[in-house]
Amino acid sequence: MAIAAIANTISLRHAVLADGVISGAMGALLIVASSPLSGLLGVPENFLFWVGVVLLPWMASLIVIGREERPAAGAVETVIAVNALWVLGSIVLAVWNPFAMTALGFAFVIAQALAVTVFAELQFFGLRREA
């Protein structure tokens, strides 16, 4: 219920733009710091690097969608669906743990999945409110 209350104060476009900014920052971090993060998280450097690379076009897409005065419902629904798939993938990664992640790595995967969940919820409630 707390997310619904917060969502009432954040516009749909700002929820999409914020998702884009954070995704871009995470992508840049993973690209630039993949080597030191690899040791801390117990996740291969190449995996972190390529996840970062994937996040950059995602960021660009979110910024294009969020720059619209009224983002297209279909585009936002796609964003929500992709965010949900990201969270599902994160859960699978955490449960399967193919890299023997460290405790910090496990916490990192869960924390970013929770952040993506919050963005998806803000977008969902924003879309409902603006419909």
Other C-beta atoms within 10 Å of 92: how many?
11
pLDDT tens digits, residue range 75-93?
999 999 999 999 999 999 9
pTM, rounded to two decimals: 0.94
Place of tokens 């449960």: 95
In the predicted model, what is the mean pLDDT of the chain?
Answer: 95
The yes-or-no verdict on residue 3 having pLDDT over 70 is no
End-to-end Cα distance, the chain: 20
Question: What residue segments make up the domains of the chain, in order of their start?
Answer: 2-130
Q: Which of 86, 56, 62, 55 is nearest to 13 (CA)?
A: 62
Other C-beta atoms within 10 Å of 19: how many?
26
pLDDT tens digits, residue range 34-72?
999 999 999 999 999 999 999 999 999 999 999 999 999
Express as a percent the part of the chain with pLDDT over 90.
Answer: 91
Integer Cα distance of 21 and 125 in angstroms: 19
